[in-house]
Structure 1
């Protein structure tokens, strides 16, 4: 390397790697095992001349060495490859979160990055507006207990048939929501709602001062539902099995559960 190379900003090397999509995967592949240039061309989808220039640049930086007709990453190359892989993972996680960040509980911003990366984020799209609800429905099918703080009509209405079935199958279910949400289900599905309320495993409570998001505790995961304030639709659903999130969700649920009150609805029939 020249003196100019040594004193240049690290951004120069980062920019070099990022300018072509094949460079980082190529370096990563060379940390796994030695590979020939033809194999690297196939993996990267580039021509032999392009790969030759890439390998020459890697060699100039001491990131690789040649073993016979193959190339393999040096220890320096392994460090750079690992760092770039971590950076890509962080950016991928940030891109998932940026569109729902302002809907999330403030506590989530205090969790470590590893907790964020474990989250599954399902966002409604113009051509798939019910995607978050369908994700929630799939999670419901694998649980024997449901404790939900502010489930909201938009999330639960499309799942009502499944919820009714689950109550009949003795799934333990406690829902804490706004009074008007319980009224909606009682008036829209009067017979089945009355049947559910008569079951010992089904408890509905109401609260007048709930957070703007929903928090549900299932057997295997925690779900956080994000609602659009104007329309009330479910914009996104986040689910995770991270212990830190579960601890936070349980604490929040228990706090509101302690101050919630029983629902009193008039009996009715369909």
Structure 2
């Protein structure tokens, strides 16, 4: 294991990380010159604390003084940019770590920039339906729906939106497991029968689907993370990243090519 000395870059990183005002202060000085009093107000620290911070920055050649104001040097700009990137990366990792084991393996193969373009909505004890609400908001804005394992779309209140979209002529294709279709049809016999008669609504079934769901909407791709046994939606990931859409469309078409059509007459229980 590598040992870090006092001259190691990690020492400077640790210095910046130990107080929450240091990185924002350096970033602020990359934007324009600022006085010490302005920096104190911006960072919410005392004048003596800011003076010590500016002295440390000056010792490292990250800033220079211009009359009564301070401004970042090119070295300071490089450090500020690097720290912003590091913070963004850690924020993204913290968002993904709790849902990582539910995600498709393909997500781990995308570059970090793609990870940072993912919107992650996680169910919390005080907001268990937050992922469902997020999917509903996306569903309201689309004019096409292609979905693999669409259980989230069949939950209240998403189902009401899906029903309205079908009535409005939106093309909807769902690929799910036979047992899911059977449950849905038995639970909503009248509504499901009427939906199945529509030319713009296609239902397919497949016996070997992945543990996650994929939704292809107009502008966004969604990935639904389900509890394996109960079907509870633990998280919803959505993005407009082209790489994710390309992967999702390919995965969807692969399963679609092997799926069986559920004919309208077989949907009436």
Give the TM-score category using the shorter length: over 0.9
CA shift at 1:231, angstroms? 2.4
Aligned residues: 262
Relative to the length of structure 2, the TM-score reads 0.95
1:157 aligns with 2:158: no
Mapped to 2, the partners of 1:34 and 1:40 lie a distance apart of 10
Structure 2 regions of 5+ residues with no counterpart?
none
1:82 aligns with 2:81: yes
Residue in 2 aligned with 1:267?
A: 268
> Is the 1:155–1:234 contact (alpha carbons within 8 Å) kept by the matching residues of 2?
no
1:121 aligns with 2:120: yes
SS at match of 2:61: coil
Bigger shift: residues 155-164 or 139-148: 155-164
Going from structure 1 to structure 2, the CA distance change for 1:69 and 1:266 (only over 3 Å counts) comes to closer
Mapped to 2, the partners of 1:57 and 1:7 lie a distance apart of 15
Runs ≥4 residues deviating over 4 A: none
Alignment RMSD, CA only? 1.2
Structure 1 regions of 5+ residues with no counterpart?
1-5
Mapped to 2, the partners of 1:212 and 1:193 lie a distance apart of 24
Bigger shift: residues 154-163 or 34-43: 154-163
Residue in 1 aligned with 2:96?
A: 97
CA shift at 1:155, angstroms? 4.7
Bigger shift: residues 229-238 or 85-94: 229-238
> Is the 1:124–1:130 contact (alpha carbons within 8 Å) kept by the matching residues of 2?
yes
Residue in 2 aligned with 1:3?
A: none
CA shift at 1:267, angstroms? 2.3
Residue deviations 1:75-99 (CA, integer Å, cap 9, x gap)? 1000000000000000000011000
CA shift at 1:165, angstroms? 1.1
Going from structure 1 to structure 2, the CA distance change for 1:9 and 1:199 (only over 3 Å counts) comes to same
Alignment of 1:190-201 (within 5 A): 190-201=189-200
Relative to the length of structure 1, the TM-score reads 0.95
Residue deviations 1:226-261 (CA, integer Å, cap 9, x gap)? 001132100000000000000000000000000000
> Is the 2:153–2:159 contact (alpha carbons within 8 Å) kept by the matching residues of 1?
no
Mapped to 1, the partners of 2:214 and 2:150 lie a distance apart of 7
